[in-house]
Amino acid sequence: MEDRLNKDLKSAMLAGDKVRTEVLRGLKNALQYEAVALKTADRKLSDQQIQKVLAREAKKRQEAADIYQKGGSAERAQAELAEKRIIEEYLPEPMDEAAIVNLVKEEIAKIDNSTMPNVGQIIGAVKAKAGASADGAVIAQLVKQELES
């Protein structure tokens, strides 16, 4: 994954694509910060760790776009969304809601007495299975819906 980012950064620089170059440089910086935070000897991130960082960066762009949209700055919102689309090229396809519901039901079935106090446990288990392909907020919402029904 990291090699792909480096190759794409080089290609973007050679092509003169300033937006893509800036986004990919920002991603490399975010990955370097994450690697330093690991405090391990080799400071290498796994593909799963890289995907988590990329998902977090994409979420930041979406939140910024929402804020700009509310503030009446549509041009800035579009720029943030364009950056998000570039980042999403490196993320796995998002899991559809039906697949997430199936994972939620599986985890609820594993717990004998599944009630609202078990929400965190269930959300954590579903997030672990879904990885970066499912949004945590969607998972939480679906878990609460299933437990209430």
pLDDT of 84 strictly over 90: yes
Q: For residues 36 and 43, what is the distance between their CA atoms, to the nearest angstrom?
A: 6
Regarding whether 79 and 29 lie in a shared domain, the answer is: yes
Regarding whether 45 and 8 lie in a shared domain, the answer is: yes
**Secondary structure of 51-94 in HEC code, one letter for each residue:** HHHHHHHHHHHHHHHHHHHHCCCHHHHHHHHHHHHHHHCCCCCC
Give me the CATH number covering residue 132. Answer: 1.10.10.410
Last residue within a domain, chosen from 65, 88, 111: 88
Q: For residues 10 and 58, what is the distance between their CA atoms, to the nearest angstrom?
A: 21
Q: Are the CB atoms for 94 and 133 separated by under 8 Å?
A: yes
Give me the CATH number covering residue 54. Answer: 1.10.1510.10
pLDDT, tens digit, 9 for 90 and up, residues 109-131: 887 766 777 788 888 888 888 87
Regarding whether 49 and 68 lie in a shared domain, the answer is: yes
Regarding whether 140 and 113 lie in a shared domain, the answer is: yes
pLDDT, tens digit, 9 for 90 and up, residues 50-73: 988 999 999 999 999 999 999 999
DSSP H or E stretch at residue 50? helix 47-70
Domain holding 107, by residue range, is 97-148
Last residue within a domain, chosen from 88, 119, 135: 88
